[in-house]
Amino acid sequence: MAGAACVALTMRLRRVERSLESLTRGVDGKSLTGVIETHLDKVYAVARETDGLLRRTATLEAEGRRAFQRLGLVRYNPFEDTGGNQSFALALLDADGNGTILTSLHTRQATRMYAKPVRAGRSDAALSAEETEALRIALEG
């Protein structure tokens, strides 16, 4: 009787092994181990790509802070003998309020341009009313 029980157990064990093997086989016939290894390779590849994207994003954010993000434009007519508001004050600032105020004074004979530096939203140079207004617009914008 013991021999018959041993044969029955062996047959049952083989059925369980076949069931387990078919259960752990992937869609493409790989073993479960192969499927997991392939999946882990993909996970590591995505992690490397994410790290690269994080580095690129940090670089772009740092560079973006230095780009002109705020501007203020005031057009005006400083002289009675010229027509239209051809003169202007233009404030160009980055995220930290650093940049330049460009001023153009237009007359019948010539146009003159001036540039004044701005640091942290302030200029050491004396500003005209129009330049002050252009700076205010840029800082509020």
pLDDT, tens only, 9-50: 898 888 888 877 776 665 566 677 777 888 899 999 999 999
Last residue of a domain, one of 66, 91, 118: 66
Give the residue-averaged pLDDT of 94-118. Answer: 94
Amino acid at 133: E
Residue 121, domain extent: 70-140
Tens of pLDDT along 49-69? Answer: 999 999 999 999 999 999 999
CB neighbour burial string for 94-115, b if at least 16 within 10 angstroms, e if fewer: eeebbbebbbebbeeeeeeeee
pTM more than 0.75: no
| Pairwise CA distance, residues 36 & 21, whole Å | 15
Report how far apart, in Å, the C-alpha atoms of 124 and of each of 52, 57, 90, 134 are.
41, 34, 17, 16
Which of 41, 66, 91 finishes a domain? 66
